[in-house]
Amino acid sequence: MVPISYYLTLAIIMFVIGILGVLIRRNALVVFMSLELMFNAANLIFVAFSRQYQTLNGQISVFFVMSVAAAEVAVGLALMVAIFRTKHSIDVDQMNSLKG
pLDDT digits (tens, 9 = 90+) for 78-93: 988 888 888 787 777 7
**Residues 87 and 73: beta-carbon distance below 8 Å:** no
CA distance 22 to 25: 6
Q: What is the pLDDT of residue 3?
A: 94
Q: Indicate whether 100 pLDDT > 60.
A: no
- Mean pLDDT over residues 58-74, rounded? 91
Q: How confident is the model at residue 76 (pLDDT cuts 50, 70, 90)?
A: confident
Cβ pair 12, 44 in contact under 8 A: no
Q: What is the pTM of this model?
A: 0.83
| 99 three-state secondary structure | coil
Q: What is the pLDDT of residue 53?
A: 93
